[in-house]
Amino acid sequence: MGTETRPERADVGRVEEALENELVALRRELHRHPELAGNEARTAALVAERLRGAGLTVTTGVGGHGVVATVEGSEPGRTIAFRADVDAVPTDERPGLDFASEALGAAHLCGHDLHTAVGVGLGVVLARAAARGELAGRVVLIFQPAEEALAGARAMLDDGVLSVAGGAGIDEIHAYHCGPLPVGAVAVGPGYGFPGIDWFRVELTGDDAAARAAAVVAAVRRLGTVGFPDSDEAFERLAEELSVPDGPHATFVLTDADVDDRPGTAVVRGWFRAWPDSRYAELRAELGAVARDADARLTFDGEPFPGMVNAVEPSVAFGDHVRGAFGDAAVEVLHAAYPFNGEDFALFLHALPGAMHILGVANPAEGLNGVPHHPGFGADERAIAFGVEAMAGFLVARASG
Ligand SMILES: [Zn+2]
């Protein structure tokens, strides 16, 4: 990862071997004891303990098990936040890891244990930087619960997370999500991010309800423009398509629906993910026509959950910073949203300028695919130290204005 050629800037966040070992141990501890959305008590306590140990001011119980820590600089400046999500996925893990999940039905298959370790690492190195007088402004570290339920960001915002940090408020926010890029690289997606989601339900009655429901499902599927890759080649093709400006997935609809039928009645449940968000109104109208043709009752689960859109300037600035510190090969630029996952960081980006960046955790030679939610998700833990080093200097630079 080009340690020898790293310029001064990256030294702000240097992660020495002892700290890297501690962060990897923390990640494995979290991995062994994953906690589902809303139940992150143990994780939150561990995070708070580590941050207090680093000398930071810590607030717990923000929007459930949310934890917020601030690093105060010695001179005035801006307030920049970094958000890490902490919850696990409601599924079992494939056996094999020597730090495998010890909880039934919960596993860190979305890499939030890595995000949390990066957040704690940032707390440690930024506290040191502040003590050396190298931080102007303030950095706020936000550890968010219940991302998988798309509930934690809303709960923290409703609980005033943006003012917990102090009177002046937060000027800008950044986050990572791990992904299938090589370890030692990041991806930025200025103007893109992750789609939102719109859930629907179509109810039919009558002797032929099952047949009409099947026609509704078929019509819904025809609205989709992208499908989940079914082979390694398809995955590679998608990755290439996402890095081409105005490529085939610059706008898309991903959808699925299933039918539950009994004699005389049938219920179709499904969802749309679409880019951009303006597409949902059109999809609702198109589905409305399908339901009318099928003489069915159509309902939606509230308003669509919004897509996560990275602000352009903060996204570009992070890419520039990482290029400057680690070289051009360390940064990939995405020109489309990744269709298969959503992110409730969307709500922070509705409130503040900022961006999420993809932190590469893949290492195919070691069998680590870095694909979030994949049943065989594996991550190269060197991404933790790299993630801290890449982000720490950037946060310091942004906070100094
Ligand atoms: Zn995730």
- The CA 88 to ligand 1 mean position distance, Å, reads 8
Arithmetic mean of pLDDT, 306-320: 98
* Same structural domain, 166 and 261: no
* Same structural domain, 111 and 44: yes
Res 96: pLDDT: 86
* Amino acid occupying residue 254: L
- The CA 40 to ligand 1 mean position distance, Å, reads 15
* Same structural domain, 111 and 174: yes
- 322 and 211 in contact (C-beta within 8 Å)? no
* Same structural domain, 295 and 353: no
Res 111: pLDDT: 97
* Same structural domain, 218 and 269: yes
- The CA 347 to ligand 1 mean position distance, Å, reads 15
pLDDT digits (tens, 9 = 90+) for 24-82: 999 999 999 999 999 999 999 999 999 999 999 999 999 999 999 999 999 999 999 99
- The CA 177 to ligand 1 mean position distance, Å, reads 6
* Same structural domain, 49 and 151: yes
Please give the C-alpha separations between residue 263 and each of 22, 209, 212, 217, in angstroms, as whole numbers: 59, 8, 13, 18
pLDDT digits (tens, 9 = 90+) for 248-298: 899 999 999 999 989 999 999 999 999 999 999 999 999 999 999 999 999
- The CA 138 to ligand 1 mean position distance, Å, reads 26
- The CA 42 to ligand 1 mean position distance, Å, reads 19
* Same structural domain, 244 and 174: no
* 228, pLDDT greater than 90: no
Residue that is written with structure tokens 């597409």 in the block: 279
* Same structural domain, 189 and 227: no
Q: How many CB atoms lie within 10 A of CB 306?
A: 18
Return d(Cα 233, Cα 231) in angstroms, integer: 5
Residue 26, strand partner residues: none
Confidence bin at 9 (pLDDT 50/70/90): very low
Which CATH number do you get for residue 165? 3.40.630.10
pLDDT digits (tens, 9 = 90+) for 139-153: 999 999 999 999 999
Range of the domain at 110: 3-193+308-399
* Same structural domain, 280 and 342: no
- Indicate the number of domains in the chain: 2
* 8, pLDDT greater than 90: no
Confidence bin at 166 (pLDDT 50/70/90): low
Return d(Cα 116, Cα 84) in angstroms, integer: 6
- The CA 343 to ligand 1 mean position distance, Å, reads 7
- The CA 112 to ligand 1 mean position distance, Å, reads 6
Arithmetic mean of pLDDT, 119-143: 96
- The CA 87 to ligand 1 mean position distance, Å, reads 8
- The CA 135 to ligand 1 mean position distance, Å, reads 30
| pLDDT-wise least confident of 90-99, 102-111, 356-365, 387-396 | 90-99
